[in-house]
Amino acid sequence: MATPHTLRLVTLGATALMGAVAWTWQARETRAPRRRLRPDTDVLVEAARTLNRSAGLLALAVAADSALEHARGDFHNRAMYTPLATSLLSLLASGHGHRDDAAAAHRLRDGCYLAAGLTGLVGSGFHLYNVSKRPGGFGWTHLFYAAPLGAPAALVLSGLLGYYGERVRDAAGDRVPRVFGLPAGQAVALMCAAGLLGTTAEAGLLHFRGAFQNPAMYLPVTAPPVSAALLAGTALAGPHRPGLRALSRLWLRFTTLLGLAGSAFHAYGITRSHGGWSNWRQNLHAGPPLPAPPSFTGLALAGLAAHALLDEERHLTPFHARLWRRRPAWRLP
Count of chain residues binding other proteins (CB under 8 A): 23
Answer for the pair 312, 40: CB distance below 8 angstroms, yes or no.
yes
Shortest distance (Å) from residue 293 CB to other proteins: 17
C-beta closer to other proteins: residue 114 or 143: 143
Answer for the pair 113, 94: CB distance below 8 angstroms, yes or no.
no
Report the distance separating Cα 129 and Cα 123, nearest Å: 10
Answer for the pair 207, 217: CB distance below 8 angstroms, yes or no.
yes
Report the distance separating Cα 41 and Cα 58, nearest Å: 26
Shortest distance (Å) from residue 64 CB to other proteins: 22
First and final C-alpha spacing in the chain: 59
Decide: is 96 part of the binding site for other proteins (CB under 8 A).
no
Rg (CA), the chain: 21
Using the Cα atoms of residue 38, residue 187, residue 328 and residue 240 in order, give the sign of their dihedral. Answer: negative
> Looking at 8-16, 56-64, 206-214, 241-249, which segment touches other proteins (CB under 8 A)?
206-214
Decide: is 135 part of the binding site for other proteins (CB under 8 A).
yes
Angle at 321 between CA 181 and CA 175, to 5 degrees: 50
C-beta closer to other proteins: residue 262 or 269: 269
C-beta closer to other proteins: residue 32 or 211: 211
- Residues 73-92: x where in contact with other proteins by CB under 8 A, - otherwise, as a string: --------------------
**Binding to other proteins in span 137-196, by CB under 8 A:** 140-141, 144-145
Shortest distance (Å) from residue 224 CB to other proteins: 21
Name 28's bridge partners: none
C-beta closer to other proteins: residue 237 or 286: 286
DSSP annotation of 82 reads H
**Binding to other proteins in span 207-226, by CB under 8 A:** 208-211, 213-214
For other proteins, the binding residues (CB under 8 A) are 1-4, 134-136, 140-141, 144-145, 208-211, 213-214, 269, 272-274, 282, 286
